[in-house]
Chain A
Amino acid sequence: MTNQDPLSSDEKEYMEVLLRKKLQTYTPPNRLRRKILKNIRKSEDTFSFLDLIVHSPLHVSITTLLIIVVTGTTGYYAYKIPSIPVKKPPVNSPPPIPPTPSPVPTPTPTPIPPPPDPTPIPPPVIPQIPKEVEPSPIPTPDVPPVKRQTKEDQPQAHDIQEEVSGDSKSYMKDMMPSRSDITLSIERISDFKAGTEGSVTIMAKNTSKTRSDTIKLQVTFEERSQILTLPSIPAEAEASRTLTYTYTRPGTYTVSVTQLETNIRIQERIEVK
């Protein structure tokens, strides 16, 4: 029967071609193509950090960047954390106390009588002193180099022994006057007798026409020494300080006044009868 019908190669090819043709009529819908591609893209969109590092053509750059970021961040915090409690002076220190020259003479430990010619002291203008007051970069030719303490140069609130006469003006205009503009002098107020008190007035005159000045004086009487500050002496004005001493026995006493900024010294001999 069927075995008797030989299958020629033409027939084989013909059958195969017909089957292929028939199969070609079953084309997949484009909707299916879109759906599959959408699913694939969706799964592609799920970000994998490992894929980024391993498969990206820029994986060397990404790895380098990661190392830089991690190292930098670690280093930053490693240095930052211990530095937190450290107080930085410009940021955390309390603002400097401005000088408050009291209009009323404050009593000193040693009883000091009021100045002989008290001039009315106007309410002082509190100078806004900047924090970093640097000394003048141009040194004065006749001033020897001395130890300069800028903070001590500024008037301090604890200088309660001062009795300052003269106008106080803001010296914001010229903060760094030449020290040679100050002229010192010592005046006796009363006669000196043994067993009594006698006063010595130290006068400081600012001969500058434009600059106000603050000076520091070291007054030595025999072996006793004290530091006085005369703050904010206006231009062409005088400031004075009266000191009272008790002379226990007769003799010759020496009062010396040294301006600390310039080391200029004046002396006065006092004869006590």
Chain B
Amino acid sequence: MYYPYMGITLIGIEVFYCKAMALLDVLYKGLLFFANDNSSNQLSDNQLAELAKTDSQHFEELFDRYFPRVYQFFYFRLRHTQNAEDLTSEVFIKIYEKIELYKDTGAPFGAWVFSIARNTFIDFTRKNKEKIESLEEIPPSAEPSTNFDLTKINHKICMEKLWSAMRLLPQKQQELWALKLTSDLPHKEIANILGTTENNVNVMVNRSLKELKKRLSYLSKDI
């Protein structure tokens, strides 16, 4: 025989269950809050990424760690504020949507983030090919000076000239420097992102620095 008040009883159980669950949820979030407050700063990016899969607060923490660097990566490559902002936004939406697919293989989390950033940049350049101007072929404006010492130049002026000269490097080297300066990844990880070897990265770095110095020496007369 069916218990006539079964429906009412079930509703009662359900209401009780909901209340209990809400209470548990509050307690759980409270515990998480205290746990995060005490230790989230000490967590590595990889640990934080694992937690960010289920908790948006951890994702925001991760976002804050990478947001300026990803923006600078795009700005370094594009020198265009609006495009850099758009691409940064696009990258973080992608990261948020795909964070569940991230697997901690021992590589730094930054390698995963900057791989996404690089791919996003490549997609962007394919779509906007005509807008990206290559300055590789622009010749130096003057003859290089002899016995040129970088350290003796006013560092502010030197910094500006270096920044400008960076635009004159080949795209591959610009990409390398963008990753090196923003991601803080070791050369090995940068090589993985670029699909090359660590040795090749070392060579490219040296080569690009020599080129930069050469560019600056051309300008040293003006400095």
Q: Does chain B have a CB within 8 A of A1?
A: yes
A36 and B150 in contact, given A2-B217, A7-B210 (Cβ under 8 angstroms) = no
Expressed in whole angstroms, the Cα–Cα distance for A93 and B180 within the complex equals 90
Q: Does chain A have a CB within 8 A of B89?
A: yes
Residues of chain B touching chain A, judged by Cβ–Cβ distance below 8 Å, are 2, 6-7, 10, 13-14, 17-18, 21, 24-25, 28, 54, 56, 59-60, 63-64, 67-68, 71-72, 75-76, 84-85, 88-89, 92-93, 96-97, 144, 148, 150-151, 155, 158-160, 162-163, 166, 177, 180-182, 206, 209-210, 212-214, 217
Per a CB cutoff under 8 Å, which of A19, A22, A36 touches B93?
A36
* Chain B contacts for A32, CB-based, 8 A: 71, 85, 88-89
Q: Which residue of A lies closest to B89 (CB)?
A: A36
Once the chains bind, are A22 and B75 in contact (CB under 8 Å)?
Answer: no
* Chain A contacts for B10, CB-based, 8 A: 68-69, 72-73, 76
Query: Other CB < 8 Å A-B pairs besides A28-B84, A57-B54, A61-B24, 7 of them?
Result: A15-B209, A18-B159, A19-B159, A24-B72, A28-B71, A33-B67, A40-B56
Once the chains bind, are A23 and B158 in contact (CB under 8 Å)?
Answer: no
Mark interface residues in A63-79 (1 if CB within 8 Å of B CB, else 0): 00100110011011001
Once the chains bind, are A2 and B213 in contact (CB under 8 Å)?
Answer: yes
Expressed in whole angstroms, the Cα–Cα distance for A126 and B87 within the complex equals 92
Once the chains bind, are B88 and A1 in contact (CB under 8 Å)?
Answer: no
Expressed in whole angstroms, the Cα–Cα distance for A75 and B13 within the complex equals 15
Residues of chain A touching chain B, judged by Cβ–Cβ distance below 8 Å, are 1-2, 5, 7, 10-12, 14-16, 18-24, 26-29, 32-33, 35-37, 39-41, 43-44, 55, 57-58, 61-62, 65, 68-69, 72-73, 75-76, 79-80
Expressed in whole angstroms, the Cα–Cα distance for A160 and B177 within the complex equals 116
Q: Which residue of B lies closest to A39 (CB)?
A: B93
Once the chains bind, are B89 and A39 in contact (CB under 8 Å)?
Answer: yes
Expressed in whole angstroms, the Cα–Cα distance for A36 and B89 within the complex equals 6
Expressed in whole angstroms, the Cα–Cα distance for A24 and B18 within the complex equals 50
Expressed in whole angstroms, the Cα–Cα distance for A44 and B163 within the complex equals 39
Per a CB cutoff under 8 Å, which of A21, A55, A61, A76 touches B54?
A55
Once the chains bind, are B60 and A37 in contact (CB under 8 Å)?
Answer: yes
Q: Can you spell out 11 A-B residue pairs with CB atoms less than 8 angstroms apart?
A: A5-B148, A5-B214, A10-B151, A15-B150, A18-B159, A22-B162, A26-B75, A28-B68, A28-B72, A32-B85, A72-B6
Per a CB cutoff under 8 Å, which of A10, A36, A62 touches B88?
A36
Q: Which 8 A-B pairs have the closest CB atoms?
A: A79-B2, A28-B71, A72-B10, A2-B214, A18-B159, A22-B163, A76-B7, A26-B75
Expressed in whole angstroms, the Cα–Cα distance for A12 and B212 within the complex equals 10
Per a CB cutoff under 8 Å, which of A43, A57, A73 touches B96?
A43
A68 and B13 in contact, given A32-B71, A36-B89 (Cβ under 8 angstroms) = yes
Once the chains bind, are B21 and A61 in contact (CB under 8 Å)?
Answer: yes
Q: Which residue of A lies closest to B207 (CB)?
A: A7
Q: Which residue of A lies closest to B205 (CB)?
A: A12
* Chain B contacts for A68, CB-based, 8 A: 10, 13-14, 17
Once the chains bind, are A11 and B151 in contact (CB under 8 Å)?
Answer: yes
* Chain A contacts for B88, CB-based, 8 A: 28, 32, 36
Q: Which residue of B lies closest to A72 (CB)?
A: B10
A62 and B21 in contact, given A19-B177, A29-B85, A32-B89 (Cβ under 8 angstroms) = yes
Expressed in whole angstroms, the Cα–Cα distance for A27 and B71 within the complex equals 8
Once the chains bind, are B17 and A36 in contact (CB under 8 Å)?
Answer: no
Expressed in whole angstroms, the Cα–Cα distance for A19 and B25 within the complex equals 48
